[in-house]
A and B are shown apart, each in its own frame.
Chain A
Amino acid sequence: MLVKPELGSLIGAIVVLAFFAASSETFRSPGGIANWLDPASTLGIMAVAVALLMIGGHFDLSAGVMTGTTALTVGIVAGKLEQNIWLAIAVALVIALAIGFANGWLVTRTGLPSFIITLGTFLMLQGLNLGLTKAFTGTVVANGISAAPGYDSAKAVFASTVTIAGQPFRIAILWWLLVTAVGTWVLLRTRFGNWVFATGGDEVASRNVGVPARRTTITLFMTTATAAWFVGTILAVRLTSVQANTGTGNELIYIVAAVIGGCVLTGGFGSAVGASLGALVFGMTQQGIVYLRWDADWFYFFLGAMLLLAVLANRLVRRYAEAARR
């Protein structure tokens, strides 16, 4: 018998979809679909990377604020310093990779919980985002991105729309689908994916059979950072002005999406498709509640309930897999 980690989130997504589609005509119209797929897409790109990291046995609390760091970098280099936007995007990537490497290196060197290490990075980046934005712009906003050279080509890649059946859809949705497919392929079909499961499942045992656990962990942190760079760039190019507090607080939503998608908090089990479905549930609920004219407060209640359900279901999976020890 094979337990699919994403099964729970698939059922959840179908139930949520059926509920809102049945109760709101706007929700099921092409315009409505484009509307709820949009928040799901940027969240989903992050959730896939965060899910890989969680399967590898770690958390990254700095993932949310890092989308802000990269977006602000694009904003300051392209908007304030008036450089080519592609250069700004490249600078943001280098910074993101450096942060990811630092996170991974600290976690593997010290053996401390990644929770506490990345909480430190999170707070530091939050301070830097505000401090540096103020130092460069004198305000808490980095703007003027659309005036930078190369903006049109960057917009085509990161922030254009694709029209299907007369309805424009954000291109981020396509990137999200691609990231989910690549994440799933890497996880299930490559050596690296096998090492991710093993490192998260039992690090000592995997080292004993020759898995490069340290390298795997550092690569995973750099993957999360790369995803944050990608989403940060999408935000910067789409909005053309970036608030200094962008992304702060989202790190927990990524983790919620990954857990709804079947990731076990202790590592070693989960799925990229599941995390994407978790993000989809999030997007559908966020917009669906608006369409039903409910108070938006109910959104967080609902999200919390989904999370609890998911954690309880995941616990059963782990019990099953460990039932017959000895």
Chain B
Amino acid sequence: MSTPPPPAGTPLLELRGIGKDHGSVIALDDISATVRAGEVTCVLGDNGAGKSTLIKVLAGVHHPTRGQVLLDGAPVSFSAPREALDAGIATVYQDLAMIPLMAIWRNFFLGSEPTTGWGPFRRFDSATAKEITRRELAAMGIDIRDPDQPVGTLSGGERQSVAIARAVYFGARVLILDEPTSALGVKQAGVVLRYIAQARDRGLGVVFITHNPHHAHPVGDRFLILNRGRSLGEFRKDQVSRDELTGMMAGGQELAQLAEELERPTGS
């Protein structure tokens, strides 16, 4: 896939007119977006806007019905999550990223364990695994007390952060984050946002899926807004303010109407 090298300025990942039907139901239609290395592309939308379907297309779970996914300018088609992973697209799911009863270092290398020795004596190289886990987490600025502690003892924010560090270490070039901040308190969400910025600064293209414009606006470079399976457009940060994002997400008029309805009756 590396030949010939893509021309300069080619986005890492590009969606062109993606559509996905579930039977006769159109879940997504005509979605276009770009993800560049060292940038964060936020996908915003209310519940049912099509965010999960879009993730599944990118992660190789679903095949798009229409349109193209381009990686380094070349069209790609994934038929399994493992293929997307091997191409450098890592997805961190909101709740399904870690095994709570297992130690951090065991989780970190789960499915890609380093081994040492030969033949029947080939074994999980736990010393190396612990060492790398500690080093990689420290490089992301994640302070864990002991890599031997079970993941279940970490807070939700810390868990998301470990999952991000893991994806970065295993050579992800595109990192897809499914609602990483939605279940978190304000402080924990801030921690995760900081790691998103860290991953960006390391040169990854980040796709940050959220329904919270307050989390998206500070860290995002581009914003793709979804509403009922359709795109309301892709905006650069200098083209849109946080309030405009909020307005578009909810379908501006509806929000204005709601505000009017909820206003206290005046006069009497």
Contact between A321 and B110, CB atoms less than 8 A apart: no
Contact A210 B156 (CB under 8 A): no
Residue of A nearest to B156 (CB): A326
Complex partner residue of A322 from B82, B100, B110, B155, CB under 8 angstroms: B100
Residue B153 lies at the interface, judged by CB distance under 8 Å to chain A? yes
| Chain A interface residue number, banded | 20 to 34
| Residues of chain B from 69 to 96 with CB closer than 8 A to chain A in the complex | 81-82, 85, 93, 96
Rounded to whole angstroms, the CA-CA distance of A193 and B100 in the bound complex is: 16
CA–CA, A205 to B99, complex, Å? 7
- The stretch that binds A, out of B11-19, B28-36, B121-129, is B121-129
A134 at the interface (CB under 8 A from B): no
CA distance A321 to B93 in the complex (A): 21
A312 part of interface (Cβ distance < 8 Å)? no
Q: Tell me if B111 and A268 are in contact (CB < 8 A).
A: no
A84 contacts B by Cβ under 8 Å: no
With the chains together, A324 CA to B124 CA distance in Å?
28
Complex Cα gap A215–B150 (Å): 25
A190 partner, pick from B98, B124, B146, beta carbons under 8 A: B124
Q: B100 touching A204 by the CB < 8 A rule?
A: no
Determine if B115 is an interface residue (Cβ-Cβ < 8 Å).
yes
B255 at the interface (CB under 8 A from A): no
- Which A residues, 189 to 233, have Cβ-Cβ distances below 8 Å to chain B? 189-191, 193-194, 197-198, 201-202, 204-206, 208-211
Do residues B152 and A206 form an inter-chain contact, with CB atoms below 8 A? no
Asked if A301 is an interface residue, CB under 8 A from chain B, the answer is no
A202 proximity list for chain B (CB < 8 A): 96, 99-100
CA of A165 to CA of B118 in the docked complex: distance in angstroms?
Answer: 39
- Mask: chain B, 95-111; 1 = CB below 8 Å from A; 0 = not: 01111111000100111
Across the interface, A194 reaches (CB within 8 A) one of B81, B113, B184, namely B113
In the complex, which residues of chain A have a beta carbon less than 8 angstroms from the beta carbon of B153?
Answer: 320-321, 323-324
A2 at the interface (CB under 8 A from B): yes
Chain B residue with the shortest CB-CB distance to A2 = B148
Assess whether A293 is interfacial by the CB under 8 Å rule.
Answer: no
A202 shortest CB reach to chain B, Å:
5
Asked if A315 CB lies within 8 Å of chain B CBs, one says no
Residue A109 is within 8 A (CB to CB) of chain B in the complex: no
| CA gap between A123 and B124 in the complex, in Å | 39
Q: Which residue of B lies closest to A202 (CB)?
A: B99
The answer to whether B113 touches A198 (Cβ under 8 A) is: no
Indicate which residue in A185, A201, A322 contacts B102 across the interface (CB closer than 8 Å).
A201
- Given known A-B contacts A189-B123, A194-B113, A201 and B100 have beta carbons under 8 A apart: yes
Cβ of A269 within 8 Å of any chain B Cβ, yes or no, is: yes
Q: How far is the CB of B87 from chain A (nearest CB, A)?
A: 14
B112 at the interface (CB under 8 A from A): yes
Residues B126 and A189 in contact, CB atoms below 8 Å apart? yes
B149 at the interface (CB under 8 A from A): yes
Q: Within B136-192, which residues are at the interface with A (CB < 8 Å)?
A: 146, 148-150, 152-156, 183-184
CB of A1 within 8 A of CB of B149, answer: yes
Are B100 and A321 interface neighbours, CB within 8 A? yes
Query: What per-residue 1/0 map shows which CB atoms of A157-195 lie under 8 Å from chain B?
Result: 000000000000000000000000000010011110110
Residues A326 and B148 in contact, CB atoms below 8 Å apart:
no
Name 7 extra pairs, CB < 8 A, besides A194-B124, A197-B102, A198-B106: A189-B123, A191-B113, A198-B110, A205-B99, A209-B112, A210-B82, A321-B153
Chain A residues close to B by CB (< 8 Å): 1-3, 185, 188-191, 193-194, 197-198, 201-202, 204-206, 208-211, 264, 268-269, 318, 320-326
The 7 closest A-B pairs by CB, nearest first: A210-B111, A201-B99, A326-B156, A321-B152, A209-B111, A191-B113, A268-B101
